Structure 1
């Protein structure tokens, strides 16, 4: 009897006891489904986190005084000559000022907004800055120090509730009581994704020279610098070059130089740990399913004792008997693995269609191959004992079995 005959007999045995076979492979289906779903959801979450983080911060490097080490704007200044040194790198240099300013929704009631000074044409420098209405003030308008403003979506709602702010003049107040009347030329798109809350602050964007002229900020100094990486630029290499420039000029430990890719790497590592943990927990169901397979195969050996005795009497060797039952176990678990993967694909497709965060469907071929391989190994492992028991039966005693 050849192995192909054993495959045929294995399928006949399984199809002859369909309900029992289905109940046996159910544990494998659940196990493979759970593992495939958990691992793929982890990959989809990682892709979603990367997409949302890039959407709000892009591929960027942030430079500011290292406040954790006691540095401040005086001990760790950022000047025009520093910006000129950064221009040689494969980045777009975006210096910025940061402060607070007040507005009056009604007389005598003043509330705070964030005030941010930027260069002109910011959307052309930073791809994460997107205009929803109007426009951004131009580079020539910014250099001329014109009293113009662009509002964040939250600021537009706070300053002009129910009204279109474009072309309107907003009156703001500095902490010393001096006044700033700015003409609104644009409104930014609201931030999206799971990190949208990081960019939901009510912010007024104004030209840097205008803020210097107001006397509220030190001229020719910047609070922080955003470096938007050019396409293909190596973030780690650029980060090291930036650190070298500032450490050469001012010494070590005065500046915080952080890359968004380092944030992404940290988040990916956390996701991988959670993915492995959830996958391991889900994998326990495979163990339970394997025990169920072994139990069913032991019952099958008992029920087919006379059949085994007859085959041995007709010349079947112990190896062929062992092979037959191992094939049955592996076929059973492989079928369960395939069904589990198909169910996982359906659920993942549904999740990616209904949940915006998981908008990217991810199912790695490696994950599918691993799931099917593990299911086959489970069948092989838990089928060894029943197969060995069947192979060890004495043909005379087996033929007498009632």
Structure 2
């Protein structure tokens, strides 16, 4: 008995074509039509560039806003009368016993007073300026207050109600234009005409960033005790506003709830407004997320246009290569192999376009970070890159299905006759 003969291996070529061979042929076809391929992927490049840039710019804007907010307010909680409910400084004052209750929390408690005053620009002409009472050593309690010159009045000076003052940068320029403010005497006037002479001991740094304008008012900082002793409207032992500068590691939301419980337990609901920089940041994040979604959706329309362009180019390619498709089918290529090749071409086009779009977006973001002060942090989230590339591949797959199906459905005999 003759031994069994081994079964011959399937021949290489169209009849035994594997996916790698389809990839090779797809790349050769795209490379052979460079201009057409470039025009096809141009829409994808623009779409992925726009989507990646818009989402990343939104994230960079959020980071910039958060940094600026922390620079001017730190991690803080604010307590004031609920003006939305008709309260004011006279109907909802913050009392000394409230301050003592707040001092049990993991935060530096900074009670403050506000009143208006005037200064003389020239004899007979006066302008308004804000007078703000604070405890002593404010930069130690709240590091967002930074000195540019001189010093801040001490706790002892504040307890004694001494006539010393620290000026905001704007107040220093208004009160002493072209002169050094530290060491000068600032003469202010209450609305009733009473005069207040203050020795200037320091000047604060001007606030920077997007929210710099919020702290750019002309403000004279003096001891709370001094305002109680001299102002015709201030009531001793009562404050207008309290800032709680959170200690490192303190949970802002938990402390906010504790502050809420203290004031609601003492005065009922709705009389005081309690907010934190965390809540401001959450609101800003929500706004920027909505803007990112809108801008991303608008930019995504260009991906749709790019996908339609891919489909049109692929349909033209099917028509041009009708005889090639017929020859491959006659040599044994299956409909699924033909379909696979055209789908690979479409996906490769969109992936290459997606990569180019991401590279261009990264370049733009680097330029913006280097040239626009507001965008302090370069952010290109890997999740954003993966999302952009995944969407571009899905666009190629979706818009490549019809041309691929049309190529696979060609009759080999009719295709070979095609001129």
Fold match (TM-score > 0.5)? yes
The equivalent position to 1:206 in structure 2, one of 198, 218, 222, is 222
1:358 offset after TM fit, Å? 0.8
- Mean CA deviation greater in 260-269 or 66-75: 66-75
Correspondence for 2:376: 359
Contact between 1:29 and 1:340, CA under 8 Å: does it hold in 2?
yes
The equivalent position to 2:46 in structure 1, one of 20, 30, 38, is 30
1:122-179 per-position Cα deviation (integer Å, ceiling 9, x unaligned): 0111121111111111111111211110000100000010111011111111111111
Q: Distance in 2 between matches of 1:215 and 1:156?
A: 22
Correspondence for 1:185: 201
Contact between 1:60 and 1:228, CA under 8 Å: does it hold in 2?
yes
1:339-398 per-position Cα deviation (integer Å, ceiling 9, x unaligned): 000000000000011001111111110000000000000000000000000101111111
Q: Distance in 2 between matches of 1:144 and 1:68?
A: 36
Correspondence for 2:4: none
Contact between 1:122 and 1:129, CA under 8 Å: does it hold in 2?
yes
1:75 offset after TM fit, Å? 2.9
Correspondence for 2:360: 343
TM-score w.r.t. the length of structure 2 is 0.95
The 5 Å alignment of 1:242-261 reads: 242-261=259-278
Correspondence for 1:65: 81
1:259 offset after TM fit, Å? 1.1
The equivalent position to 2:31 in structure 1, one of 15, 27, 46, is 15
The equivalent position to 1:162 in structure 2, one of 178, 193, 197, is 178
- Report whether the alignment pairs 1:370 with 2:387: yes
SS of equivalent residue, structure 2 residue 108: strand
Q: Distance in 2 between matches of 1:37 and 1:74?
A: 51
Q: Distance in 2 between matches of 1:289 and 1:75?
A: 63
Contact between 1:97 and 1:116, CA under 8 Å: does it hold in 2?
yes
SS of equivalent residue, structure 1 residue 176: coil
Contact between 1:134 and 1:187, CA under 8 Å: does it hold in 2?
yes
The equivalent position to 2:254 in structure 1, one of 219, 237, 242, is 237
The equivalent position to 2:283 in structure 1, one of 236, 241, 266, is 266
Contact between 2:190 and 2:231, CA under 8 Å: does it hold in 1?
no
1:322-351 per-position Cα deviation (integer Å, ceiling 9, x unaligned): 000000000000000000000000000000
SS of equivalent residue, structure 1 residue 348: helix
1:8-27 per-position Cα deviation (integer Å, ceiling 9, x unaligned): 00000000000110011000
Contact between 2:58 and 2:291, CA under 8 Å: does it hold in 1?
yes
The equivalent position to 1:74 in structure 2, one of 90, 93, 96, is 90
1:64 offset after TM fit, Å? 1.1
1:180 offset after TM fit, Å? 0.9
| Gap regions ≥5 residues in structure 1 | none
- Report whether the alignment pairs 1:224 with 2:232: no
- Report whether the alignment pairs 1:47 with 2:63: yes
Correspondence for 2:326: 309
Correspondence for 2:338: 321
- Mean CA deviation greater in 216-225 or 372-381: 216-225
1:197-222 per-position Cα deviation (integer Å, ceiling 9, x unaligned): 11111000001111112143211111
- Report whether the alignment pairs 1:297 with 2:314: yes
Q: How many residues align?
A: 402
- The Cα RMSD (Å) is 0.9
Q: Distance in 2 between matches of 1:84 and 1:239?
A: 16
Q: Distance in 2 between matches of 1:295 and 1:265?
A: 45
Correspondence for 1:151: 167
Correspondence for 1:91: 107
1:74 offset after TM fit, Å? 3.5
Correspondence for 1:137: 153
Q: Distance in 2 between matches of 1:250 and 1:394?
A: 86
Correspondence for 1:2: 18
SS of equivalent residue, structure 1 residue 275: helix
Q: Distance in 1 between matches of 2:112 and 2:263?
A: 17
Rg: which structure is higher? 2
SS of equivalent residue, structure 1 residue 166: coil
The equivalent position to 2:303 in structure 1, one of 286, 296, 302, is 286
1:70 offset after TM fit, Å? 2.1
1:68 offset after TM fit, Å? 1.9
Q: Distance in 2 between matches of 1:219 and 1:328?
A: 80
| Gap regions ≥5 residues in structure 2 | 1-16
Contact between 1:76 and 1:250, CA under 8 Å: does it hold in 2?
no
1:106 offset after TM fit, Å? 1.0
